[in-house]
Structures are given as C-alpha cells and as structure tokens.
Amino acid sequence: MIDFRKELNPAQREAVETLDGPVLVIAGAGSGKTRTIVYRMANIVQQGHSPDSILLLTFTRKAAQEMLDRASLLLGAQGLYGVTGGTFHSFAYAWLRRYAEAMGAKNGLTVMDQSDAEGILRDIRDDLRLGKGDRSFPKRSTLLSLISKSRNKEMPIADILRGEAYHLSRYEDEIGLVAKGYESFKTRHGLLDYDDLLFGLERLLSDHAPALELARARYRFVMVDEFQDTNLVQARIVRLLAGDGGNVMAVGDDAQSIYAFRGANVHNILDFPNQFPGAKIIRLEQNYRSAQPVLDLTNAILEQAQLKFRKHLFSERKDGPLPQVFRTLSDRSQANAVVNKVLELSKKYPLHEIAVLFRAGYHSYPVEVALNKLGMRFQKFGGLRFSEAAHIKDVLGFMRLGQNPADVPSWQRVLSHIKGVGPKTVGRIYEAVLAGDNAHLAGVRRRSPEIGEVLDFLDEQRALGGTPAAMLARVLEFYTPILERKYPDDYPQRRSGLEQLERIASQYSDLEAFLGDISLENPQDEDERGKEHALVLSTVHSSKGLEWSVVLVIDLVQDRFPSRHALNSADDLEEERRLLYVACTRARDYLGLFVPSTVYNQYNHSSEPALESPFLAELPETVYESWRENFSGTMSRARDAAPAQALASPRSFGASAPAAPSAPATGKVPPSRLGYCRHKIFGRGKIVATVDGDKYRVNFPGFGLKVILANFLELE
C-alpha cells in the first residue's frame, strides 16, 4: 500500500483521496501537479477500481505516457494496464472510428495531415481563380491557420482577421469563399482534419445516445490535465463525458492560461464551479521549485488580477536573494546590462541554468548581438535567431554592398525578390559591375526596370553614405514595399524585427563596426553536448513547463511587456499579467527584471521616455531590490527614492508604487476629492476610496478596481 501521508503534502493528499464528484485542483506553478495526478490514478486502482474506468486527457502524448509510466511504477506488479490516456484529439479519433458508420462515414474515417489540407486549399483557390497573379494573396499555410483559428475560437474569420491579421483584411471575402469551399470538399469526400476530430466527437456524444451511454458507463473517473488550456469545444466534451454526476477532476492553473491565440479560454477553468455545481476546489500552493523571495514577487503580480482563484504560493526554501529590478538608461544599454549580469552569475551557475526571457522573439536581438561580440554561446527558443531571419539578411545585404561591391551573397539577396533572377543572372551582373561593363548593365536595365531600380538605389547609398542609422533608414524606405510583397502573410511581425535592427544601428557611428558585430556568428556545437554550456534565450510562451536557476526578464515597459495590442482589451491585458507570472515562476534561485527608462523611436531617430510595465509598477517595493544604471554605465542600489520611471514620466502608472513628490501637480486629484477621473491607460473611472492619503482606489469599467497614485489621475 502507498503511504500517502509520507509521500504527499496535505493538499495533494486531499486531491488524491477525493474520488467522487466534481473536483477542481488549482495547481500553482511548481506545486507538484503531475505528482498529484499520478498518485490519484494509483489510488483509484489501489481502491479496487478497474484501470479501464480511468480516462486521462492531456495536451501531449508525452505528458500522458509519463504519467501512466510513473503510476505503473507506484503500483508495481498490479500495473495500470487498461487506462485510456492521451490527447483530446487521439481520444476523439478512437471514438469516431468506433462509430464511423453512425457518423455517416461508411467507408471509415480518413484524417488529413497538414500537407493534405494545404493541397486541398490550393486546389480550391485555383478553382475559384482567387489570388491569381497576386503575390500578396495569403499562402495556403496561412489560409489553413486562419481557418483553424476560426474553428478553435468559434469566431468568424472576419473577427480573426481584425484581431490577428489586420493586414489581410482586404482578402476577407476571398478567404471566406476558400473556407466555405474547404468545408464542402471535406464533406463530399468524407475527410476530416485535425480540428474536425473535436467537433466530430462532440456531435457523436450529443447526437448518438449509445455512444454517450457507453462512454459514461466505462469512464467512471475522468481526469483532465492543464484545464486552463482547453478551448470551448474541449470544455463541452468534458461536460458531456462527466454527465450529471460530474465525476471529473480538472487540474490546472488559471494564472498560467497564456494560449488564447491558440483558442484556449481561461473562462473554462474560472467557470468550472458554475458548470459543475457543488464542485470541490483544492488549491496546491506549496511550491517545490522557487525560493520564497521569488514567490513573494509572483504572488504580488497575481494580487492585482481581476478574475482569479485566490492562492498564495509558499516554499520551505525561505532563503535566497531578493529579486532585483534594474532600471537602465535605455533599451540600448539594457543589452549590455543583461550580458554583464549573465557574466556575473555564470561564476556561480552553468550557462544552461541561466535564461533570458522576453515577450516577443525579436526583442532579444540586441542581446544576441552583445553575446556574439563576446563569443558567448547561446541557444534560442521561440522566434528566429537574429542571424537567421531572412528579412534581416535582405536588409543587411543592401548595407554590405555599400561597403563591399564584391559581396556575391549580398548581390543575391538584394535581387532575390525580382522574378526570373537566379544565381546565373546575379553572377553576370556582379561581373559586369566589377568590370565596369556599362553596355551589359544598360541592357539589363532595359530588360528589367526592377533591377535598374536596385542598381540606382545602391549607387545613391554609396554616394550619400552617412551613419549606419541613416543608411539603414534609407534602406528600409526602399525595402518596405519589397518586404510586403515578399512576405505578405507576416510582414507586420517582420517589420517589428527591422525596428529592433534600427535600435541597434543607432548605437554605431561606423558602418564597418556595425556590420562586423551583426555578422558575427554564434558558435555552435554540432552535438547535444554543446547545449550544456549555452545560455538560454526564450520567449515566455516557449518557456512554459521549464525552469532554470536564474531567470532574467527584459523589456518590462509598455508596448513590449505588455504588448501594444494588449492595451486595447481588458482580457488581453490580464493575459499579459499571467504571461509575466509564468516568466517569473520559471526561476528557482534568482530573478532579475530589466526596465529601460527610454526606448528608441525609429520614426524620429531618437530615444523617448518609456512607460514602466503596469504589472511592475503595481508591486510593493518590499518584494524587490531597486537598482539604477548611472551615467557612467555602472549599476547602483536605489534606496530612498521613488523608481526612476515614476519621476521621469508623468504618464506612468503609480499603483502600489513608492510615492511620487507629495505635492500634487496642478490639475491632479487633490487628496480629499472623490469623484470621476481619467487615467492614461485605463481611461475614465470612479474614485471609490482613499488609500494612505496619496493613493486612490478607482473603479475602471472593463479593468476593475486599481490602486493609483493621485499624481497619475486627471480630475474631470
């Protein structure tokens, strides 16, 4: 018999021993979620129930297999043979195959892979004569992605385009026709794609009583992992399987719901008690990963969340350094500050135990350049490496030819967007340029005005010269129409990467030095052994489920973290808060947060004051050490002063932050005045209470209650 008292903490044990009725396990980060699921399966069998009565639904086959293997080891010879464990999609496929005829598929089910689906979309597009000769028309992979998002989010394609691909909105009608043709084609030929499996299972369980009765009779114990990541149809399938008795355990963490872009809906877990009346809620709050100082900060991040299950993570590891917040002078100096911190911490921790996390893949570009200059090995997860991005290589090709006309690869890149231009044509142009063969070049210009435009632009670049920033600005003006034609599906994202390149270029006065630093390749080992000695760079989304001894989070300013798009929606802003929570809870020992005080504006080629991330501005100063970069480039501890951000910009947040100068500025809310006010980010709100004399609790429609310093509110 398994000794649960010895193996589990009280909350885990309660979850493992509760076998009847609906149960929601709120599993905080690092709280032993997998261990709890494994021991519960073992306990079900140990109590005499058949393994056949257990259904375990996960999001990856690997996760399901790991849990089944661990539970089998606990049970020993008794084993766990017969448990149904796997992904929602694999479970759906198995049941749809069993009832294929009942679903009208007399010849069985045929499930398409992605390449099959893309091929059908290509044929439908051609049959409808859509996008013919239009190089900007969405690629078939993009069409499939948009159709899939529409299905998973259960939203019209028009809404998907407006929210996630506005640059493709002009093709709304055409994409709608392709989607309609795609559905008709699948129906006529008895085909299913990946998304159809879930909706097919829902239809089977809803419309075919024998299937539903059999599923409920067999699966006495339904368990769902990562419930916060379920989409709407997956939540409905769980309700159908659980039945009126609701004998289901959902395990997850609302605070780690960060995949809305895939269709995940945080309200599935938040509404669980309403969907299953009488549900027992068990909170796993003991953290086995992080030191308590890290958890104190992450608890404070969640404290301001509007919709949440309350929890307070705690650890037996009470020691450990206080998290540090570094306010650098600029986003340009931030990269050097990050690398210096990595060098300092690498004396204590191996490089692969240090991670630099960021909101978007291109945010790490300045750090990558700084690491390459030092020759420090790194690996990157999420987003392309700076040196691998095709659009970056395109732009740098124009700049390299300004320095070295004999650069053959750069000639290939700057002419690659022109139809009919291949290596042989590029070679002849290259030879003619170096040999001064003006007759050949004149012939090329007559045959291809596009090539002539490139040659004229390169001549202009060489004549004007200037700083790397000035040259890059001219290149981007010339290249932007090419970017939009060459990468029609995702050019807004690529343009963001080019903006980051502008920030890097602004640090240089010499073209040779700029191109040299950009061109340095990160040293790579061919085998896996090399990764043991490589710093980790990762987007926060790619970091989920991982952990490191040291975590550094960069760009904690508005428009970057949270992203600029999130400020338009209360739901999106709350997901950004959860994203920061996920980032910080990856740290075991040390957490460092970086806040650039100014950011480079590529439109006027100067740096401007940045607004500190609202999630950081809300934190009490007791949960972190505040450090500032001096004009000498060194860091010093900020002790008895408000954060630099609050003093530098009257537009800043002030929620739960150290007090700004005590005398409110003219036009601000006076200390005793209640009523309506306006805030730079949250808009119009009602002041409902005073807090500590110089702070106010304000109710903002769509955002809820916030505590804000008086100096950051405008009286109506």
Q: Model confidence over 132-164: pLDDT tens digits?
A: 878 889 988 999 999 999 999 999 999 999 888
pLDDT at 215: 93
Beta-carbon neighbour count of residue 100 at 10 Å? Answer: 16
Q: Model confidence over 526-553: pLDDT tens digits?
A: 344 346 689 999 999 999 989 999 999 9
Tokens of 231: 């989409």
Say what the alpha-carbon torsion angle 176, 178, 181, 187 is, to the nearest 10 degrees.
-90
pLDDT at 425: 85
The tokens 């010895």 sit on which residue?
6
pLDDT at 101: 78
Q: What is the pTM of this model?
A: 0.81
pLDDT at 623: 95
Residue 27 is labelled as binding a ligand: yes
Residue 692: band (very low, low, confident or very high) from pLDDT cuts 50, 70, 90 = low
Residue ranges with strand state E in 44-188: 54-58, 84-87, 110-111
pLDDT at 660: 29
Q: Model confidence over 173-186: pLDDT tens digits?
A: 999 999 999 999 88
Residue 31 is labelled as binding a ligand: yes
Burial class (CB in 10 A: 0-12, 13-18, 19+), 125: buried
Averaged pLDDT for residues 480-491: 88
Q: Which CATH architecture has domain 386-520?
A: Orthogonal Bundle (1.10)
Task: Examine the pLDDT at 666 and tell me if it is beyond 50.
Answer: no
Q: Model confidence over 287-333: pLDDT tens digits?
A: 999 999 999 999 999 998 888 889 999 999 998 999 999 999 998 89
Residue 18 is labelled as binding a ligand: no
Task: Examine the pLDDT at 563 and tell me if it is beyond 60.
Answer: yes
Residue 29 is labelled as binding a ligand: yes
Q: Model confidence over 231-275: pLDDT tens digits?
A: 999 999 999 999 877 889 999 999 999 999 889 999 999 999 999
Distance CA 294, CA 322 (A): 7
Task: Examine the pLDDT at 25 and tell me if it is beyond 90.
Answer: yes
Task: Examine the pLDDT at 57 and tell me if it is beyond 90.
Answer: yes
- Whole-number average pLDDT of the chain: 86
Contact assessment for residue 282 and residue 23, using Cβ atoms and an 8 Å cutoff: yes
Residue 439 is labelled as binding a ligand: no
Averaged pLDDT for residues 560-568: 85
Residue 434: band (very low, low, confident or very high) from pLDDT cuts 50, 70, 90 = confident
Of the two residues 441 and 88, the one the predictor is more confident about is 88
Cβ-proximal residues to 584 (8 Å cutoff; 6+ apart), any chain: 294, 297, 298, 301, 323, 551, 553, 591, 593
The tokens 């100014």 sit on which residue?
598
Give percent of the chain above pLDDT 90: 46
What single-letter amino acid sits at 620?
P
Q: Do 4-98+196-287 and 386-520 show the same overall fold?
A: no
Residue 34 is labelled as binding a ligand: yes
Distance CA 168, CA 489 (A): 8
Distance CA 540, CA 538 (A): 6
Contact assessment for residue 680 and residue 698, using Cβ atoms and an 8 Å cutoff: no
Cβ-proximal residues to 680 (8 Å cutoff; 6+ apart), any chain: 611, 651, 712
DSSP 134: -
What single-letter amino acid sits at 374?
L
The percent of the chain in helix, strand and coil, each rounded to the nearest 5, is 50, 15, 30
Cα first-last separation, the chain: 68
Residue 654: band (very low, low, confident or very high) from pLDDT cuts 50, 70, 90 = very low
28-32, 482-486, 551-555 — which is least confidently predicted? 482-486
199-213, 224-238, 369-383, 413-427 — which is least confidently predicted? 413-427
Distance CA 667, CA 713 (A): 9
Q: Report helix, strand or coil for 544.
A: coil
Q: Does the domain formed by 4-98+196-287 have CATH 1.20.120.80?
A: no
DSSP 652: S
The tokens 């929602």 sit on which residue?
88
What single-letter amino acid sits at 615?
F
Tokens of 150: 């529409």
Options 3.30.1370.60, 3.40.50.2300, 1.10.8.50, 3.40.50.300; CATH of 314-384+529-637: 3.40.50.300
Characterize the bridge pairing of strands 704-709 and 695-700: antiparallel
Domain chopping of the chain, boundaries: 4-98+196-287, 113-189, 314-384+529-637, 386-520, 676-715
